[in-house]
């Protein structure tokens, strides 16, 4: 099948990790808590209540803006988005329509092996809605309302329609999610709805222009759903010849069980009747505050990747791993500072330590491994005191329990093979004690070679380097 | 209607009535508190008396929507403060565990889950809530006739309307039920009824009194204010409810001292009369009394000058578009409440509310409507700048409060807010005081000062009260 030319734009909703809700002092992190326990007159939309802005949410959204290179607007406003739905007790959602808190920015992904930039249009601050819980019995389905989530601060990040494949989309979202988690802006828990996304997809003509109105797919909350829903929808759009430039913008949902999208609604007629919220003054920020937040932030991942690639001569793929693992990257840099075998260290960090961390879902500082351990280990390998193989075997234990490398090796009962000479002596001894096998070898049965290697390895309890042993055995057998 | 009877009620509102006899109950909030501090008046007498007045007056005036049991809760007030006073609130201001209907049947079962900041602060000062007063449905009206329950009468002449939206509050204060009533003013809804009932109506600057707990259809124009029997009472009670409130994000942070300079006259006072470009309808009687009042003021050496200004019709249209547009989203939570509790009640929504919501929706959705709304916002900014510039050169702007005398019920005049809406559009403080000493003169003089000049406003109002001879004995 040829690739379908599509354009995908995203609207990502990320819940901010604030202590309280956006406009009241109710607890914000309530996933899995008893329903309707964390509500007050303001977030339940009681007549007469008023919203008061949470400063922490503003700071976190500034942080998000800085993280993706978006320009923070020093003056932004709240608007009311009016629509009627059961999970919206006020009858409107407080959001930023005309003047969002940040504009512009972008994030890099690897598309077809090349670095590609996905442009960000805007970031705005808004409140989450309540949640409808459906309870089905055999006779009927009932909807229950839980307002714990109502008023939880969200940032909505809107991208330009610049993504071209479902895979790129998933990668972009993964990077964005990692970024927001990294800076402690959002928990990133997709299964809890803390990071979710609406995608709009449209077909393109040969000139690279949109040939259909976009279709919006709502509430995609796992990377798997995003990939399957977008692929399905792209194929559906190609098949549906009635869908043209003039079709109304339509919203669809994703049905995971039947693996298909289904019609939800078209946009409300007359739009959302946006009006500036008269209950909230504009957000006015000082350059000083933005600067202060910027200084308090760790190095941005893409700056880090560029710097590491340049300083240590690593490949883009290697440095990008470090971009999103700042603790691992700090660990690497500290090792390299006192132990200058850069490629050896990076190889160990990326191919030995990184997979273990991934498997255990931990960060390097959560293990017992420190840079001295690794340097000690690598020095021993380079001096030939232990083998690479053995060092790799010791590593998980070091990460788990720490301690000194020497003690660990002794505890394992390992007397390190110190020299080539020792191996050669051992080989000589073993060959002379097995005259029958040796005779077989001389008669042309070269397989016996493996028998000797095995014997030597057994005698060294696996500490000898098999290649070296093989060489020594071959040499000895030929000599005699 | 026996006019002399009502006349005497207004002059001597605390005359003994019914079975209860309380001698020498004072006219004003100030003396009520003074006598209690001296120990010659007991709080239980005041509350007993209030109950009696409500029993006698309310069946004729129909100003109360709800009368709670008036048990004073000592926990509400500060420490040793044993002083109490009765107060009322219009029915769009929340008071814990009382119904808050906004004068609408769709809200008839709504019980306030909390106290509005103003109610909480009045209770703290010793206030006892003695009633929720009638009002136009969601404050949308100028005569209290759009109330979903019943219309209120003007206590000075039961044939006449008391003005609106907070007609119940003004009528109740004029009937002598209590010396203080809270109300809200989005289009003169405090000042119009106060002028028709010959009492004081004060609308503060925007952002001086907390709106937390006010069900407001147009928050950017609305302010909670007071209806009292004297300027001094209004200043005293305003000083209790003013000041920063962390629950209302539109509040300023500074405090204003209203009482400090209230008795000192402003030197070489300069007043401004707005002269709109277009002619507008106005009762001859009001024009005459206003001219007389201006002459009296001029005689005392006050400098009064005319300044050209934008037409009142444009001001009213601007106000109407903005307030209706805001009402669409602001009231949707009340409609949600009705839909979720008793959907059939939505059929009882009044015509005025429906038409304003429809007009607001039109302004927000239609491309032409959006253009009109944008024009209205620009006009509002321009007018605010213009009037603020004027108020830098003058101490205050004066005008009649309304262009008409109180209308008979059923006549539905729409232009009553002609002089009132400017203060709402520009967020200025304004007060209405009776225009002359004649008791049958049911119209007010409106004074308007620059933003946050509430202290100066009271100073000028007090000065004029003395000059015009309308202050309480």
Write out pLDDT tens, residues A108-143.
888 887 889 999 999 999 999 999 999 888 888 889
Specify the pLDDT at position B23: 42
Specify the pLDDT at position B375: 95
Cα of B208 to nearest chain A Cα, Å: 14
> Which range of residues forms the domain containing residue B367?
1-473
Spell out which chain B residues touch chain A, with contact meaning CB-CB distance below 8 angstroms: 93-94, 100, 102, 107, 110, 112-114, 116, 211-215, 218-220, 246-250, 325-326, 328-330, 332-337, 361, 364-366
Class of the CATH-defined domain A420-479 = mainly alpha
Mean pLDDT of all residues in A274-299: 94
Cα of A341 to nearest chain B Cα, Å: 59
Is residue A1 scored above 50 in pLDDT?
Answer: no
In chain B, which residues have their Cβ closer than 8 Å to the Cβ of A129? none
- Closest chain B residue to A274 measured between Cα atoms? B364
Q: Which two tokens stand for residue B102?
A: 């906004």
With beta carbons less than 8 A apart as the criterion, state whether B167 and B134 touch: yes
Give dist(CA B128, CA B88) in Å, integer: 8
- Does any CB of chain B come closer than 8 Å to the CB of residue A268? no
Give dist(CA A240, CA A202) in Å, integer: 12
Among A47, A52, A280, whose Cβ lies nearest the Cβ of B333? Answer: A47
What is the domain-level CATH number for residue B459? 3.90.1300.10
- Does any CB of chain B come closer than 8 Å to the CB of residue A84? yes
Specify the pLDDT at position A128: 96
Give dist(CA B50, CA B86) in Å, integer: 7
pLDDT digits over B302-346, tens only? Answer: 999 999 999 999 999 999 999 999 999 999 999 999 998 999 999
Specify the pLDDT at position B77: 46
Cα of B365 to nearest chain A Cα, Å: 5
Among A52, A82, A278, whose Cβ lies nearest the Cβ of B247? Answer: A52
- Closest chain A residue to B95 measured between Cα atoms? A48
Specify the pLDDT at position A93: 97
Q: Which two tokens stand for residue A204?
A: 């393109």
With beta carbons less than 8 A apart as the criterion, state whether B170 and B181 touch: yes
Specify the pLDDT at position B414: 83
**pLDDT confidence tier of residue A156, bands split at 50, 70 and 90:** very high
pLDDT digits over A413-447, tens only? Answer: 666 555 677 778 888 888 888 888 888 888 888 78
With beta carbons less than 8 A apart as the criterion, state whether B61 and B131 touch: no
- Closest chain B residue to A270 measured between Cα atoms? B365
Residue carrying structure tokens 């993706």: A68
- Does any CB of chain B come closer than 8 Å to the CB of residue A279? yes
Other C-beta atoms closer than 10 Å to the C-beta of A382 total: 13
- Does any CB of chain B come closer than 8 Å to the CB of residue A53? yes
| Inter-chain residue contact B100 with A48, CB threshold 8 Å | yes
- Closest chain A residue to B335 measured between Cα atoms? A91
Total domains, chain B = 1
pLDDT digits over A233-257, tens only? Answer: 988 888 876 666 667 778 899 988 8
Give dist(CA B145, CA B203) in Å, integer: 22
Give dist(CA B351, CA B356) in Å, integer: 9
Cα of A23 to nearest chain B Cα, Å: 10
Among B214, B250, B364, whose Cβ lies nearest the Cβ of A48? Answer: B214
Specify the pLDDT at position B10: 40
Give the residue among B49, B60, B63 at the shortest CA–CA distance from B2: B60
According to DSSP, residue A128 is labeled -
| Inter-chain residue contact B336 with A51, CB threshold 8 Å | no
Give dist(CA A371, CA A378) in Å, integer: 11
Among A47, A50, A84, whose Cβ lies nearest the Cβ of B249? Answer: A50
Higher-confidence position of B72 and A300: A300
Residues 6 or more apart from A157 whose CB is under 8 A from it? A10, A11, A12, A14, A64, A68, A120, A122, A123, A176
| Inter-chain residue contact A48 with B94, CB threshold 8 Å | yes
In chain B, which residues have their Cβ closer than 8 Å to the Cβ of A281? 249-250
Cα of B275 to nearest chain A Cα, Å: 31
With beta carbons less than 8 A apart as the criterion, state whether B189 and B436 touch: no
Sequence spans of domains, chain A: 6-292, 298-411, 420-479
With beta carbons less than 8 A apart as the criterion, state whether B258 and B235 touch: yes
| Inter-chain residue contact A280 with B218, CB threshold 8 Å | no
Among A53, A80, A89, whose Cβ lies nearest the Cβ of B336? Answer: A89
How many contacts does A have with B, using Cβ atoms within 8 A? Answer: 89
- Does any CB of chain B come closer than 8 Å to the CB of residue A89? yes
Backbone angles phi, psi at A125, to 5 degrees: -100, 135
Low-confidence ranges of chain B (pLDDT < 50): 1-24, 76-79
Mean pLDDT of all residues in A191-220: 87
- Does any CB of chain B come closer than 8 Å to the CB of residue A271? yes
With beta carbons less than 8 A apart as the criterion, state whether A123 and A156 touch: yes
Please state the length of chain A. Answer: 480
| Inter-chain residue contact A90 with B336, CB threshold 8 Å | yes
Specify the pLDDT at position B15: 40
Burial of B238 (0-12, 13-18, 19+ CB in 10 A): buried
Specify the pLDDT at position A16: 97
**Helix residue ranges, H only, A127-277:** 166-182, 223-239
In chain B, which residues have their Cβ closer than 8 Å to the Cβ of A274? 364
Among A48, A89, A90, whose Cβ lies nearest the Cβ of B215? Answer: A48
pTM (2 d.p.): 0.85
**pLDDT confidence tier of residue A144, bands split at 50, 70 and 90:** very high
Specify the pLDDT at position B14: 41
**pLDDT confidence tier of residue A269, bands split at 50, 70 and 90:** low
Q: Please calculate the CA angle A142-A147-A151 and round it to the nearest 5 degrees.
A: 145
Q: Please calculate the CA angle B69-B72-B78 and round it to the nearest 5 degrees.
A: 150
- Does any CB of chain B come closer than 8 Å to the CB of residue A49? yes
CA-atom Rg of chain A in angstroms? 31
Specify the pLDDT at position B7: 39
Cα of B121 to nearest chain A Cα, Å: 16
Task: Please tell me which of A213-227, A381-395, B87-101 the model is most confident about, judged by mean pLDDT.
Answer: B87-101
């Amino acid at each position: 099948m040829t690739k379908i030319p599509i354009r995908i734009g995203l609207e990502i909703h990320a819940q901010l990790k604030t202590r309280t809700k956006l406009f009241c002092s109710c607890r914000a992190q309530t996933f899995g808590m008893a329903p309707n326990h964390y509500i007050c007159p303001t977030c339940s939309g009681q007549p007469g209540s008023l919203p008061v802005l949470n400063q922490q949410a503003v700071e976190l959204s500034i942080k998000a803006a800085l993280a993706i290179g978006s320009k923070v607007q020093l003056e932004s406003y709240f608007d009311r988005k009016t629509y009627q739905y059961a999970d919206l007790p006020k009858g409107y959602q407080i959001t930023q329509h005309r003047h969002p808190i940040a504009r512009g920015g972008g994030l890099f992904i690897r598309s077809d092996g090349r670095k590609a930039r996905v442009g960000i249009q805007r970031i705005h601050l808004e409140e989450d809605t309540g949640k409808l819980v459906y309870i089905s019995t055999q006779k009927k389905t009932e909807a229950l309302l839980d307002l714990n989530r109502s008023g939880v601060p969200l940032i909505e990040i809107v991208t330009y329609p610049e993504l071209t494949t479902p895979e790129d989309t998933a990668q972009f979202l993964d990077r964005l999610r990692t970024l927001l988690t990294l800076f402690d802006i959002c928990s990133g828990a997709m299964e809890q709805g803390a990071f979710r996304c609406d995608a709009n997809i449209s077909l393109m003509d040969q000139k690279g222009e949109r040939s259909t109105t976009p279709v919006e797919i709502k509430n995609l909350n796992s990377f798997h759903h995003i990939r399957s829903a977008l692929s399905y929808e792209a194929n559906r759009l190609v098949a549906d010849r009635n869908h043209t430039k003039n079709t109304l913008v339509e919203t669809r949902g994703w049905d995971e069980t039947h693996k298909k999208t289904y019609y939800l609604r078209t946009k409300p007629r007359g739009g959302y009747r946006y009006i500036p919220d008269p209950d909230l003054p504009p957000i006015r920020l000082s350059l000083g505050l933005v600067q202060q937040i910027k200084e308090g932030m760790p190095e941005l991942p893409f700056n880090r990747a560029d710097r590491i690639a340049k300083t240590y001569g690593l490949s883009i793929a290697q440095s990008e791993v470090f971009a999103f693992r700042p603790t691992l990257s700090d660990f690497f840099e500290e090792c390299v500072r006192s132990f200058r075998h850069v490629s050896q260290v990076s190889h160990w960090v990326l191919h030995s330590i990184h997979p273990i961390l991934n498997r255990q879902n931990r960060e390097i500082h959560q293990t017992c491994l420190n840079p001295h351990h690794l340097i000690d280990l690598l020095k021993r390998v380079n001096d030939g005191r232990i083998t690479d193989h053995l060092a790799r075997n010791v590593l998980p234990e070091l990460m788990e329990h720490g301690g000194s490398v020497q003690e660990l090796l002794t505890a394992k009962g390992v007397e390190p093979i110190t020299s080539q000479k020792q191996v050669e002596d051992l080989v000589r001894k073993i060959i002379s004690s097995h005259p029958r096998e040796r005779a077989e070898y001389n008669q042309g049965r070269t397989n016996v070679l493996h028998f000797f290697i095995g014997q030597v390895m057994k005698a060294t309890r696996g500490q000898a380097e098999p290649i070296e042993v093989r060489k020594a055995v071959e040499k000895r057998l030929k000599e005699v | 209607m026996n006019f002399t009877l009502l006349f005497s009620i207004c002059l001597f509102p605390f005359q003994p009535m019914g079975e209860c006899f309380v001698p020498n109950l004072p006219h004003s909030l100030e003396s009520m508190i003074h006598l209690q501090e001296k120990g010659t008046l007991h709080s239980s007498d005041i509350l007993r008396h209030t109950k009696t007045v409500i029993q006698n007056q309310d069946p004729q005036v129909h100003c109360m929507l709800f009368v709670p049991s008036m048990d004073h809760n000592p926990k509400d007030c500060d420490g040793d403060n044993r002083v109490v006073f009765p107060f009322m609130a219009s029915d769009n201001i929340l008071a814990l565990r009382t119904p808050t209907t906004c004068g609408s049947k769709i809200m008839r079962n709504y019980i306030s889950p909390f106290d509005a900041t103003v109610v909480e602060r009045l209770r703290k000062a010793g206030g006892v809530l003695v009633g929720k007063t009638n009002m136009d449905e969601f404050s949308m009206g100028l005569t209290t006739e759009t109330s979903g329950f019943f219309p209120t009468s003007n206590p000075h002449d039961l044939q006449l309307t008391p003005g609106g939206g907070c007609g119940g509050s003004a009528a109740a204060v004029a009937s002598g039920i209590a010396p203080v009533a809270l109300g809200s003013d989005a289009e003169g809804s405090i000042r119009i009824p106060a002028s028709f009932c010959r009492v004081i109506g004060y609308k503060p600057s925007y952002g001086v009194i907390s709106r937390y707990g006010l069900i407001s259809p147009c928050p950017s124009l609305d302010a909670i204010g007071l209806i009292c029997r004297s300027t001094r009472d209004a200043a005293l009670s305003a000083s209790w409810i003013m000041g920063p409130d962390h629950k209302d994000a539109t509040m300023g942070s500074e405090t204003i001292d209203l009482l400090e300079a209230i008795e000192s006259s402003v030197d070489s006072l300069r007043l401004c009369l707005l002269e709109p470009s277009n002619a507008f309808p106005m009762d001859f009687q009001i024009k005459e009394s206003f001219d007389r009042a201006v002459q009296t003021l001029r005689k005392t050496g006050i400098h009064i000058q005319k300044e050209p200004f934008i037409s009142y019709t444009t001001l009213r249209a601007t106000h109407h578009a903005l307030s209706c547009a805001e009402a669409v989203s602001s009231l949707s939570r009340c409609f949600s409440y009705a839909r979720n509790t008793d959907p059939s009640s939505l059929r009882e929504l009044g015509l005025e509310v429906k038409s304003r919501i429809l007009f607001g929706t039109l302004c927000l959705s239609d491309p032409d409507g959006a253009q009109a709304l944008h024009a209205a916002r620009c006009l509002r900014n321009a007018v605010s700048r213009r009037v603020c510039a004027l108020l830098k050169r003058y101490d205050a702007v004066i005008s009649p409060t309304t262009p008409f005398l109180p209308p008979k019920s059923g006549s539905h005049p729409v232009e009553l807010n002609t002089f009132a809406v400017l203060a709402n559009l520009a967020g200025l403080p304004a007060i209405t005081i009776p225009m002359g000493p004649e008791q049958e003169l049911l119209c007010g003089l409106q004074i308007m000062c620059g933003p946050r000049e509430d202290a100066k406003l009271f100073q000028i109002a007090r000065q004029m009260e003395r000059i015009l001879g309308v202050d309480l004995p």
